Homo-oligomer: A and B are copies of this chain.
Amino acid sequence: MAITVVGSVAYDSIETPAGRRERCLGGAATYFSLAASFFCDVRVIAVVGEDFGPEQEAVFRKRKIDTRGIEHAPGKSFFWEGSYLENINEAKTHNTELNVFASFEPKIPAAYRDSDFLFLANIDPVLQKRVRDAMPDVKLTAGDTMNYWIRDHRKALEQVLKGLDILLINDTEAKMIGGSSNLVQAAHAVMALGPRLLVIKHGEYGATLFHGSAEKIGDRTFRAPALPLEQVVDPTGAGDSFAGGFFGYLASQKELTPGAFRRAMFYGSVMGSFACERFGTERLQQLSRAEIDARFQIFRELTHLD
């Protein structure tokens, strides 16, 4: 099955305790696509500027990602500059330039129309909804968002949530949307807004999958660990890589059984752990499916009693 993803393809300048990189290829849709491409066909909808050339295009092509939905516009690509010097788990944003993204109007190529899976990466919820509405026949829709949209664009975001099967967010975002400092209460409040499945990412502590309005804890909740890493080189894109592994694995399955969702949580964590090992998308570009499955086994050993 194929996933269509809409989101940012961008350049990032990143500083972490491990060093600094200028203008490396980034953006939520980039990380998501690379991670998902190890499991299924991926088709991207985004906009880039004149600074996006054959070298960047080749990164997608090498992973057989369909880039016909990447629009080339006059001007510069979306740019983000941030650092993780004080806290490796929390980015400090120094600069955000929307550039060509400011007037982005997503256009869906005809060849993308038969996608069964749709991922709405973190962009303006108005655009997320537009893409969702334009693809009414998808079987499963997942999405992401961030604090800025939750705080200042709540109504537009709630329209998106109504159309989502699965929402993937982090602890802080879940507590903001759900209006509770208790994660379980927040999860229930978020699911009441639409998504019947909720993945809350806990950074270095893994992630929890909530299903429906849990009557009994344990029956409906699943926790995947994160890998204890001796060095987090660059956490940028770890959440998007998680989403790509999670949703990509689901798209590769014939049937969406409860077991498939559990394994998808593990593959999400696996892809997130790889993303942190090098700057930007470096590690995802060099990865093999064999390495992914070997790490899946490590995650199993890390958590299973037998």
Contact = CB atoms under 8 A, between A and B. Distances in A.
Interface of A: 88, 181-185, 187, 202, 204-206, 208, 210, 217-219, 221-223, 225, 227-232, 259, 262-263, 266, 297-306
Contact of A217 (B217, B227, B266): B227
Given A183-B204, A202-B205, A218 B302 contact: yes
A301 B206 contact: no
Contacts of A259: 305-306
Given A228-B208, A230-B184, A303 B301 contact: no
Nearest to A218: B298
Most buried by B among A217, A222, A229: A217
Contacts of A232: 182
This chain: copies in complex: 2
A228 B183 CA distance: 8
A302 B181 CA distance: 22
A218 B303 contact: no
Given A184-B229, A218-B301, A221-B228, 12 more contacts: A88-B182, A182-B230, A183-B204, A184-B228, A184-B230, A205-B205, A208-B228, A217-B228, A217-B302, A218-B297, A263-B305, A304-B304
B304 A303 contact: yes
Nearest to A183: B228
A232 B183 CA distance: 11
Contacts of A263: 305
A15 B231 CA distance: 39
Given A205-B202, A217-B298, A303 B230 contact: no
B230 A185 contact: yes
Nearest to A223: B225
Given A202-B205, A205-B206, A227-B217, A305 B262 contact: yes
Nearest to A262: B305
A207 to B, nearest CB: 10
Most buried by B among A228, A229, A266, A298: A228
A301 B204 contact: no
Contacts of A210: 228
A7 B187 CA distance: 38
Nearest to A227: B217
Contacts of A187: 228
A301 to B, nearest CB: 5
Given A181-B88, A228-B208, A229-B184, A223 B298 contact: no
B221 A302 contact: yes
A249 B218 CA distance: 22
Contacts of A202: 205
